[in-house]
Structure 1
Amino acid sequence: MVEVLVKPQVKSDEVIKLLKGIFEDPVEKIEEATTGKVKKVYFFQYNDKWYVIRFSDNDMEFKIEKYLKETLRGEKFPLPKFLYSGVYNSFYYAISEKVEGKPIHKLKEEELKASMPSVMDNLIKLHSVDIKAYEGYGWMDYNMKGTFNTFTEFLQSFFSKDQEGFWKGWYELFKESFVDYNVFNELYGKMIELAKYCEGRKYLIHSDFHYNNIIINNSKIAGIIDWGKVSYCDYIFDIATLILEFPNYNFLEEFYTFYKERNFDTSNFKERFLCAAICNSLDGMRFWARLGREDTYKSILDNILMILNKYDTTIT
């Protein structure tokens, strides 16, 4: 949903050299993380404890983590303990404690259902952060303001033809890959039609709330990681991201009840959910098409068509 930047190239021997200047004793082990599209990430063991060092071409994510730690300091919010940050060559880095547990997408059914109360409790803490002082929608700038005047402008920016970075020239997918322009465009039109229901609803959201970014331990969230896509928009986008990951469970009704009971705005809940679900699906479809994964592309397409068929947008 955001321009994908080039991952920093930092080798393990460079990391070891950097860590020697930070810690008194030598690092015992170091392992490169296999996940992460934008940051270069290593796990390392020091004095029998595991830590994480992340490298990025900007420090916005690290700034957001510090902001959240301060803002939610009385809420016991599951942010990994932040230890050090600095600059290495032309990259920013941050060191934090490694969160122990399982990524949410690897949980068994009973484990997943048992963890949902903790997931909901912590997600609503994030969505309750007071952001009245900050203008705009979408990705935050260094003044913590949104970079778009309206939510619809933010939404349209995801799929504009002229982009830089990873998405430069992405319209060529309609000519050179299996992406069906008519299907894609029909879903896009539906999303824009539904955007009016999300307009004016502004919350602080994670924007990538699923997969490896939610770590569960003993049915509780042990940590929420990867804050590089934090933005201002409808809280339904975080909920939709999670629901799309688990389409076989009726989590939408559970979230609706949970947020309504806590006096959040739940009007036009399903329309808002569908807008977010289509956006996430279109972004995923083009991403996997770019990587040549037709099976994953079709799976995402089938899932969003099933969801659209399931939820009548006239029901609010």
Structure 2
Amino acid sequence: MNRDIFIRNLTKEKIKMSPTGRNANELSQEEFDSCYESFFNMIFEIASTDVSSLEGYGEFDENNKAPFKSLEEFIRSDMIDEPEDGYWKNWKQMFGTTFLKKDYYYEIAEKALKNVTFCEKQRFLVNNNTFFCNMIISDDGKTYCTDWGRAGIMDYLMDFAILDLNKPYLMIPEKLYEYAKKKNIKIENFKERFLCMAYYKGIVTLRWHASIDDLESCESIVRSINALEERMNKLV
């Protein structure tokens, strides 16, 4: 089944697949500060989808199945293993030949795995591609995701972690912490879960940018990763 049709059916057609409006990447910091709740509402709406009919964790495969038995198995496979074919075949050859440094890569991967137990059993639909260039703000102020190619089942904090990785100066976890208190949303083990999702997504995104020799993005991602735990410690 086509991915968009699958997502539309799964969400009872409450999510628009082809929204119209302004690209979220065009928002200034001031504009985002005035409308960030629309982004948060969107993520929680996605996470409210009933996924009890689905098994597993991880990104949906070509059959729209989440193929991993646990979240740890998923992120370990993505961060550590080398596939037999495809873009990431033999990716570890990048160590020493690109920006990607072996010791740093495994240090951050271990930090993600250290916290993954806090994310187990957090089974939610996630877009898993919530970079600002993939989102649209409609004329009525509602936010929509436009690309569901990496959607899957995992902790919904993944979608917030990607927002922060994309633009850390927008202070996503800080805003989310206050938003949750305001809305009486209890996010258990907030720090550990956010760090797990952020470290995992951060290090594999760093690997991607290193693979295309995007030095500027690599340096930005490393700064974001390195500053995150101190930021979280100030919240909880």
- Output the CA distance in 2 between the equivalents of 1:107 and 1:72: 27
Deviation at 1:140, TM superposition (A): 2.8
* Match in the other structure for 2:177: 256
Counterpart of 1:215 in 2: which secondary structure?
A: strand
**TM-score, length of structure 1 as denominator length:** 0.68
Unaligned 5+ segments in structure 2 are: none
Largest Rg, 1 or 2:
1
CA contact (8 A) 1:129 1:204 kept: yes
- The 5-angstrom pairing of residues 41-190 of structure 1 reads 60-68=2-10, 71-73=12-14, 77-80=15-18, 99-141=19-61, 144-163=64-83, 164-190=85-111
Cα RMSD (Å)? 2.3
- The 5-angstrom pairing of residues 260-271 of structure 1 reads 264-271=185-192
Amino acid at match of 1:205: V
- Output the CA distance in 2 between the equivalents of 1:251 and 1:293: 24
Unaligned 5+ segments in structure 1 are: 1-58, 81-98
Deviation at 1:263, TM superposition (A): 5.9
More strand by share: 1
User: Relative CO higher for 1 or 2, CA cutoff 8 Å, sep ≥ 6?
Assistant: 2
**TM-score, length of structure 2 as denominator length:** 0.89
- Output the CA distance in 1 between the equivalents of 2:3 and 2:180: 27
- Output the CA distance in 2 between the equivalents of 1:212 and 1:249: 15
Amino acid at match of 2:23: P
Report Cα offsets for 1:157-207 as digits up to 9, x if no partner.
112332121111110110321321111111111111011111111101100
- Segments ≥4 residues shifted beyond 6 Å: none
- Output the CA distance in 2 between the equivalents of 1:103 and 1:204: 23
- Output the CA distance in 1 between the equivalents of 2:65 and 2:184: 26
Report Cα offsets for 1:185-238 as digits up to 9, x if no partner.
111111110111111111011000122211124472354211011111101000
Counterpart of 1:165 in 2: which secondary structure?
A: coil
Report Cα offsets for 1:288-316 as digits up to 9, x if no partner.
11101222211111111011233239x75
- The 5-angstrom pairing of residues 7-26 of structure 1 reads none
- Output the CA distance in 2 between the equivalents of 1:222 and 1:188: 31
Amino acid at match of 1:61: R
CA contact (8 A) 2:95 2:102 kept: yes
Amino acid at match of 1:250: M
Counterpart of 1:232 in 2: which secondary structure?
A: strand
* Match in the other structure for 2:161: 240
Identity %: 26
1:306 has 2:209 as partner: no
- Output the CA distance in 2 between the equivalents of 1:116 and 1:102: 14
Paired residues in the alignment total 235
- The 5-angstrom pairing of residues 286-301 of structure 1 reads 286-301=207-222
